[in-house]
Amino acid sequence: MAKQDYYELLGINKGASDGEIKSAYRAMAKKYHPDANPNDKTAEAKFKEVGEAYSVLSDSQKKAAYDQYGHSAFEQGGGAHGFNFNMDFDAHDIFGNIFGDFFGGGRSRQPQGPRRGSDLQTEVYINFEESITGAERELNLPLDDHCATCKGSGAKPGTVAESCKRCNGTGQERVVQQTMFGAMQSARTCGTCRGSGKIIKEPCSTCKGSGIVRKNEKIQITIPKGIDNGQAVRKQGMGQPGQKGGPKGDLLIVVNVRPHKQFKRQGNNLYLDLGIEFTQAALGGDITIPTPYGDIPQQIKAGTQPNTVVTIKGKGVPNVRNEKQVGDLFVKLNIKVPTSLTQNQKDLLTQFAGDLPPGETTEKKRFFGKKK
């Protein structure tokens, strides 16, 4: 039997927007939902058809293929068109994505198997120098752990937790409500066991039946060389306890690096503004450049111009993933002009200005002339 056109099935035009497609599907899914049409095979089949139509028209790639090739784009062997879409779907799941769990459909949305615990987060502060060299820290944190007395069961040693009779151990209970579509079934967290699926008649005296205890723990962390502000150190298995035998989450320690007065960091490179005397710039010579690893001597050429940048290789920040890879230090030389001069200095500068070669600018002569 030929399939009905997806647009006709949802009662929309081919150029319908995403919102119009979703709205049409909501209306049709409500109309043909099995909970609204108990024991109606025709409605159930229609419900699956509109679900299939929505799964195609709500996906931009599938929709484009359908608009061009129709149903043949998804038929077995339809790879002739260059498509290989997976057309397995569940109309209940599609419906649930739009309406939540109002229509339970006999399905439990809560995972029943082991679940990993949540990650925890804290923070530490370090100096700029420690971000270069690395650091060690000891943290004293209140952390949750499985109760050692009952081994996390919550039940008094020698007893066991019983399966909740209200939800049959699922952690969810079914509620039937009368709506305009008839009797509708929804799922919600069991009010008796609060979603655990277990009833503890004799709770553990240590954890009061929770299966979890809180205790202060001292944690040693190593902050690697090159860590940047806002990056985190991960301690596996130090987070919240898992549920139903699941593993613990992780502990994330966010590192805050205090800024430095001189150095500015960009990636693994460092930048420094360094002032030098104008006589040093004119005559050249040796200067001292500070680095995170200690001061180093540097020779500058005679006639060094303002804002000259000197590159010091390997005096930047280590790569946090490979400390053997170290960035560079870029030093911008700022020439300091004296603000007060003795009369002798003024005379010498005036003589210097008068001896400038013909190629020099009149602006320089004017500058030194003002010192007279």
216 φ/ψ angles, rounded to the nearest 5 degrees: -80, 135
Residue 195 and residue 279 in one domain: no
Between CA 217 and CA 222 the distance in angstroms is 16
Same domain, 255 and 118: yes
Q: Are residues 119 and 212 in the same domain?
A: yes
Residue at 106 is within a domain? no
Q: Clarify whether residues 115 and 255 are in a common domain.
A: yes
What's the one-letter identity of residue 226?
Answer: G
Is residue 105 one of the residues assigned to a domain?
no
216 plus 254 within the same structural domain: yes
DSSP string, 307-343: TEEEEETT-S-EETTEEEEE--EEEEEEEEPPS---H
- Residue 1 lies inside a defined structural domain of this protein: no
Of 60-64, 247-251, 348-352, give the range with the top mean pLDDT.
247-251
Rounded average pLDDT over 340-352: 82
Please report the pLDDT score of residue 169 as a whole number: 82
User: The tokens of 152 are what?
Assistant: 């996390």
Q: Whose CA is closest to 249, among 171, 143, 368, 176?
A: 143
For 23, residues 6+ apart whose C-beta sits below 8 A from its C-beta are: none
- Average predicted confidence (pLDDT) for the chain: 82
With cut-offs at 50, 70 and 90, classify the pLDDT of residue 157.
very high
CB proximity list for 309: less than 8 A, separation 6 or greater: 330, 331, 332, 333
Domain boundary among 99, 119, 147: 99
- CA gap 14, 43 in Å, rounded: 24
**Domains of the chain: total:** 5
pLDDT band at 172 (very low <50, low <70, confident <90, very high): confident
The whole-model pTM stands at 0.59
Q: Identify the domain boundary among 214, 240, 259.
A: 259
247 and 214, same structural domain? yes
Residues 212 and 322 grouped into a single domain: no
pLDDT for res 218:
93
Domain that holds residue 174: 162-199
User: 274 and 303 share a domain?
Assistant: yes
In 3-state terms, what secondary structure has residue 254?
Answer: strand
Give the chain's end-to-end CA distance (angstroms, integer): 106
On whether residue 82 sits in a domain, the answer given is: yes
What per-residue string of b and e applies to 63-94 under the rule 16 or more CB within 10 Å gives b? bebbeebeeebbeeebeeeebebeeeeebbeb
Structural domain includes residue 310: yes
Q: Are residues 47 and 91 in the same domain?
A: yes
Question: 70 in a domain, yes or no?
Answer: yes
User: Which has more confidence, 112 or 341?
Assistant: 341
Last residue of a domain, one of 259, 275, 299: 259
**Within-domain flag for 73:** yes
DSSP 164: P
Residues 270 and 218 in one domain: no
Return the number of other C-beta atoms located less than 10 Å from residue 22's C-beta: 16
Q: How far apart are CA 28 and CA 20, in angstroms?
A: 12
Supply 61's token pair.
């790639």
Is the Cα torsion angle 233, 239, 243, 246 positive or negative in sign? Answer: positive
- The strand pairing partners of 286, in sequence order, are 299
Residue with tokens 């008094």: 156
| Residue in the block written with tokens 């919240």 | 240
Q: Which of 124, 321, 317, 140 minimizes the C-alpha distance to 230? A: 124
Tokens 């799941």 sit on residue: 93
Overall average pLDDT of the 77-95 stretch: 50
Is residue 193, in this structure, part of any structural domain at all? yes
Report the CATH number that the domain containing residue 227 is assigned in CATH.
2.60.260.20
Averaged pLDDT for residues 35-40: 77
> In this structure, are 177 and 146 located in the same domain?
no
The CATH number of the domain holding residue 70 is 1.10.287.110
95, 13: one domain: yes
At residue 205, the pLDDT reads 93
